[in-house]
Amino acid sequence: MGLFDKNPFGHNLFIKKWLIRILALLSHQRYKRFNTLEIEGSEIIRNLPNKNVLFVSNHQTYFADVVAMFHVFNASLSGREDSIKNLGYIWQPKLNMYYVAAAETMKKSLLTKIMAYAGSVSVERTWRSEGQDVKRQVKMSDISSIGKALNDGWVITFPQGTTTPWKPLRKGTAHIIKKYKPVVVPVVIDGFRRSFDKKGLRIKKKGILQSLVIKEPLQIDYENESSESIIEKLEYAIEQHPSFLKVISKQDLLAFEEENKQRKWKKN
């Protein structure tokens, strides 16, 4: 890698490498010391192609989820077995790894702008803006940006577009899958909502067991399978299909509802 090499988005790879190293150093203890991160599926990461891979995950915080994935994916590629011990794995991070995020979120502060440079594919949300519900057309430039990232490497996306559990998946994800035909890898996370604040920047509670499970790539018929069928398959894979509500205890549901009320109250 040359000093002035850039990725398809014009970001200098030398700068990006150092940003990832620094952010990893600052965040590592959040998953190793203050809380415990239980990992499954590292061997799946090592068997994936170098590009055109789409990770589809449920969402619990704005940033802690994706930062954990950067740790786990890089550690797995460096030979760690379901572990992020020994931060040396981040010295040579995978630079062609991206995550989809709302453009308005990534422009809010210096920290979010730094995190955007480290790997964000920023898109304009079609259903929400500045805390208000909206309805607008999908920007084809956003679809193209995700395609550009897939052509270069790996992309992490949260198709619910919200940290609220069991919300419907956005159909745009199925459109991207049918258009670019990536390897689709489901990821299921848990514990981040309890251990971090909504943004995932502040530790809310210590001693929480977090989990990150990487599942086998989905079998998808890109040409013949309908978008609805793909969405349903994704909902089951990331354990966000409505049927999962039937096996969630009433106590847990009430806890989720109360937590969402508290967040809304604090925001207002």
Cα gap 67→115, rounded to integer Å: 9
Average pLDDT for the chain? 86
Q: Describe the chain by its helix, strand, coil percentages, rounded to 5.
A: 45, 15, 40
Instruction: Please state at what angle helix 13-27 crosses helix 110-117, rounded to 10 degrees.
Output: 120
Asked if residue 153 lies in contact with residue 159, where contact means CB atoms within 8 angstroms, the answer is: no
For 224-233, b/e burial (b = at least 16 CB within 10 A) is: eeeeeebbeb
Lowest mean pLDDT among 125-134, 161-170, 216-225: 125-134
Asked if residue 70 lies in contact with residue 97, where contact means CB atoms within 8 angstroms, the answer is: yes
Please name the amino acid found at residue 228: E
| Token pair belonging to 6 | 């850039």
3-class DSSP string for 177-219: HHHHCCEEEEEEEECHHHHECCCCCCECCCCCEEEEEECCCCC
Residue matched to tokens 């689709």: 184
SS3 at position 243: helix
Cα gap 134→136, rounded to integer Å: 7
Provide the residue count of the chain: 268
Specify the pLDDT at position 75. 97
CA distances for 66 relative to 24, 45, 116, 194, 202, angstroms: 11, 15, 12, 16, 15
Lowest mean pLDDT among 131-145, 159-173, 180-194, 220-234: 131-145
Residue matched to tokens 């915080």: 61
Cα gap 108→199, rounded to integer Å: 12
pLDDT tens for residues 98-136? 999 988 888 888 988 999 999 999 888 654 555 555 455
Contacts 24+ apart (CB under 8 A), 143-148: 143/172, 143/175, 143/176, 143/179, 145/9, 145/121, 146/100, 146/121, 146/176, 146/180, 147/176, 147/179, 147/180, 148/8, 148/9
**Confidence at 268, pLDDT banded by 50, 70, 90:** very low
Specify the pLDDT at position 231. 94
Residue matched to tokens 């590292």: 42
pLDDT higher than 60, residue 256: no
**Confidence at 242, pLDDT banded by 50, 70, 90:** confident
